[in-house]
């Protein structure tokens, strides 16, 4: 069994747990590889010869059994970009704060590896959003797990985003921007802009305006079989579009359309995990004394 470890900017106090993880995996006879970014973090103050080998090429990902994402939810989003259409199962180990996606705490590493080895887990398919544009964007990695966003640049005036569902006119959003969120992304940027929470296996997109000028404009939930297209207007010549944490400027001449990606992200889900338990814990539901 081959396993890849991926992490970005790992704090020194957490490196002991990574060493423990590598030891547990190798003790179980697994072939362990690490990404170049994680190698860079772990190599500080250590003999490079004591580290697992670095992933040689993108093609090698296809032969992996699992990828372990070490960090927060942002690292897991980066892991999905790294894997792409290979759909290698991902286990998120949480060194961050919220951990909606990276759910395994550092104290649970050894038991999580044991459950992985004996098959005490399931795989949860999370839908991705796919971007089609009239010019190449995001170096061909035109998909995201959380959301696609159109946003004004810096302190410029509001923009108008004319939005269409399967070619039918929906609305012209006069706002700071517009978010098209997957169910997974409903707990992220969309939530902070007033969007609804959606079960991660639902078959929907959420269209959420960012600071709309019209107060009666509300988020709307649509089928993820829909194709959502846009035309942008504004005083500024440039706008920002983003997929998860990756963003790039474009001008109004660029045509944009989003739909569900053909492949999905496969997240390892242990049998004692509950999305609703995570919601209550991370959002502090039930801390009111009346409960």
pLDDT tens digit string along 255-290?
999 999 999 999 999 888 888 888 888 788 877 666
Asked whether the beta carbons of 153 and 249 are under 8 A apart, the reply is yes
Q: 48: pLDDT confidence band, cut at 50, 70 and 90? A: low
Burial of 31 (0-12, 13-18, 19+ CB in 10 A): middle
Same domain, 202 and 214: yes
Among 86-100, 153-167, 239-253, the least confident range:
86-100
Q: Give the chain's mean pLDDT.
A: 90
Chain-centre distance for alpha carbon 47: 33
Between CA 213 and CA 158 the distance in angstroms is 8
- Work out the number of other CB atoms within 10 angstroms of the CB of residue 254: 15
Same domain, 71 and 31: yes
Please give the pLDDT value at position 208.
Answer: 98
Q: Which residue has the higher pLDDT, 20 or 145?
A: 145
Between CA 112 and CA 122 the distance in angstroms is 13
Please give the pLDDT value at position 193.
Answer: 96
Domain annotation covers residue 289:
no
Domain annotation covers residue 290:
no
Domain annotation covers residue 24:
yes
Q: Which of 73, 78, 115, 244 is catalytic?
A: 73
pLDDT above 80: residue 235: yes
% of the chain at pLDDT higher than 70 = 95
Q: Which H helix or E strand runs over 16?
A: helix 15-27
Please give the pLDDT value at position 128.
Answer: 98
Same domain, 136 and 96: no
Q: What is the CATH number of the domain that holds 68?
A: 3.40.50.10330
Domain annotation covers residue 146:
yes
Question: Domain range spanning residue 27?
Answer: 2-127+264-282
pLDDT above 70: residue 47: no
Same domain, 76 and 146: no
Same domain, 273 and 227: no
Domain annotation covers residue 288:
no
Asked whether the beta carbons of 29 and 2 are under 8 A apart, the reply is no
Please report, for residues 108, 285, 287, the alpha-carbon distance to residue 290 in angstroms, rounded to integers and kept in the order given: 32, 12, 8
Same domain, 64 and 115: yes
Domain annotation covers residue 35:
yes
Q: What is the CATH number of the domain that holds 143?
A: 2.60.200.30
Q: Which H helix or E strand runs over 45?
A: none
182 is in an annotated binding site: no
189 is in an annotated binding site: yes
Between CA 258 and CA 276 the distance in angstroms is 28
Same domain, 224 and 278: no
Same domain, 90 and 151: no
176 is in an annotated binding site: yes
Same domain, 103 and 207: no
Q: Which residue has the higher pLDDT, 10 or 168?
A: 168
166 is catalytic: no
Q: How many domains does the chain have?
A: 2
Same domain, 254 and 138: yes
Domain annotation covers residue 171:
yes
Domain annotation covers residue 287:
no
188 is in an annotated binding site: yes
Please give the pLDDT value at position 49.
Answer: 56
Please give the pLDDT value at position 96.
Answer: 67
Same domain, 239 and 271: no
Same domain, 32 and 11: yes
């Amino acid at each position: 069994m081959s396993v890849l470890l991926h992490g970005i900017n790992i704090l020194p106090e957490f490196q002991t747990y990574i060493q423990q993880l590598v030891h547990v995996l190798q003790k179980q006879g697994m072939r362990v590889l690490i990404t170049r970014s994680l190698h860079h973090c772990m190599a500080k103050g250590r003999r490079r010869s004591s580290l697992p080998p670095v992933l040689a090429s993108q093609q090698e990902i296809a032969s992996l059994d699992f990828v372990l994402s070490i960090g927060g939810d942002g690292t897991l989003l980066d892991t999905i970009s790294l894997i792409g259409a290979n759909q290698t199962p991902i286990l998120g180990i949480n060194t961050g704060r919220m951990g909606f996606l990276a759910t395994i705490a550092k104290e649970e590493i050894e038991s999580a590896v044991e459950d992985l080895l004996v098959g005490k887990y399931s795989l949860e398919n999370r839908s991705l959003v796919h971007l089609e544009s009239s010019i190449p964007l995001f170096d061909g990695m035109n998909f995201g797990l959380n959301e696609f966003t159109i946003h004004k640049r810096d302190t410029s005036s509001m923009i108008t985003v004319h939005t269409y569902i399967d070619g039918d006119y929906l609305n012209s959003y006069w706002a700071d921007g517009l978010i098209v969120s997957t169910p997974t992304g409903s707990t992220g940027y969309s939530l902070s802009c007033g969007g609804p929470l959606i079960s991660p296996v639902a078959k929907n997109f959420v269209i959420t305006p960012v600071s709309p000028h019209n107060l009666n404009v509300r988020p709307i939930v649509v089928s993820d079989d829909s194709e959502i297209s846009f035309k942008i207007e504004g005083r500024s010549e440039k706008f920002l579009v983003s997929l998860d944490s990756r963003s790039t400027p474009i001008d109004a001449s660029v045509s944009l359309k989003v739909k569900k990606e053909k492949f999905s992200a496969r997240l390892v889900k242990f049998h004692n995990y509950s999305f609703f338990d995570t919601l209550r814990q991370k959002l502090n539901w039930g801390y009111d004394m009346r409960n």
